[in-house]
Structure 1
Amino acid sequence: MIKFADVAKGDVLPAQTFPIRRVDLVKYAGASGDFNPIHWNERFAQSVGLPDVIAHGMFTMAEAIRVVTDWCGDPGMIVEYQVRFTKPVVVPDGVAEDSGARLTVTGKVSAVNEDGTVRVDLTAMSGPEGAEKVLGLARAVVRLP
């Protein structure tokens, strides 16, 4: 577990890439109760102007914070978390193990505060070649021991 005394502004958290498949969206829909067909029905998603099925925003947000919780070692240390949704994560269908989408998340300590908290800014990328920023102003405040 990381300690407050060991953290400095500019520290980079280990980047992670999360696969997102349609089955993950169906599972999330069951857990969250959000059965909007844009998250599982390609024809419906396209009929409302989307390129394909998209991941739930809250699912994307939850995947992104894993970079911080893995780094600090305890999800209970997160005292604040916010994002702006900038682009949806498009999740193509497929049966191959590598089908679906990828969400790559990086984090950097942007502030070390006198109250024992640190702010971590996150960057979440997806889309073709991982070139689309899907979360904006993504940041977490963490209270470290």
Structure 2
Amino acid sequence: MPLQVGDTREQVVIEKINRTHIVKYAGASGDFNPIHHDEVFAKEVAGYPSVFAHGMLSMGLTGRALTDWLGVMALKRYGVRFTRQVWPGDTLTAKFEVTKVEDGLATIKVVTVNQNGETVIEGEAVAKADAV
């Protein structure tokens, strides 16, 4: 059945993200900014309470949930804005809602929240409406 305005989907994308996840992402992405892996630097130099996950890690996990739902070939555009840090121990849940269907394309509101319901990323995706 094609996507329709009002269709929703929700998926836990990671439970209790940990420092190993963060360091593995640093290695895969080549982003070794010390705020993501060096506790002393994150606290004493940058002033954060701890290290935190890369925004692109949260975006990638959310993107995987989109393609799990729609399929890789259906997703045409995907963009987000990072709104809050993701800390070790956080569980992330992606939430999607189709807001428009036009000319065979569905516009999807994208929001990922932590275990407290706080938005960590928000954005939009466009996919083929007949993807599902």
- TM-score exceeds 0.5: yes
What's the TM-score bracket when you normalise by the shorter of the two chains?
A: 0.7 to 0.9
Calculate the TM-score normalised by the size of structure 1: 0.80
Q: Which runs of 5+ in 1 are unaligned?
A: 92-99
Contact 1:105 1:122 in 2 (8 A): yes
Q: Which runs of 5+ in 2 are unaligned?
A: none
Q: CA deviation at 1:16?
A: 2.2
The C-alpha deviation readout for 1:105-136, integer Å capped at 9, x for no partner, is 1111111112x11111111112xx42321113
The C-alpha deviation readout for 1:22-68, integer Å capped at 9, x for no partner, is 11111111111001111112221112121211111111101112221
Distance 2:59 2:21 in 1: 14
Calculate the TM-score normalised by the size of structure 2: 0.88
**Match among 7, 10, 17 for residue 6 of structure 2:** 10
SS at structure 1 position matched to 2:24: helix
Distance 2:26 2:93 in 1: 22
Q: Which residue of structure 2 lines up, in the alignment, with residue 96 of structure 1?
A: none
Following TM superposition, the consecutive aligned residue runs of length 4 or more in structure 1 with deviations greater than 3 angstroms are none
Contact 1:51 1:90 in 2 (8 A): no
**Alignment identity in percent?**
38
Q: Which residue of structure 2 lines up, in the alignment, with residue 24 of structure 1?
A: 21
RMSD: 1.6
Q: Which residue of structure 2 lines up, in the alignment, with residue 69 of structure 1?
A: 67
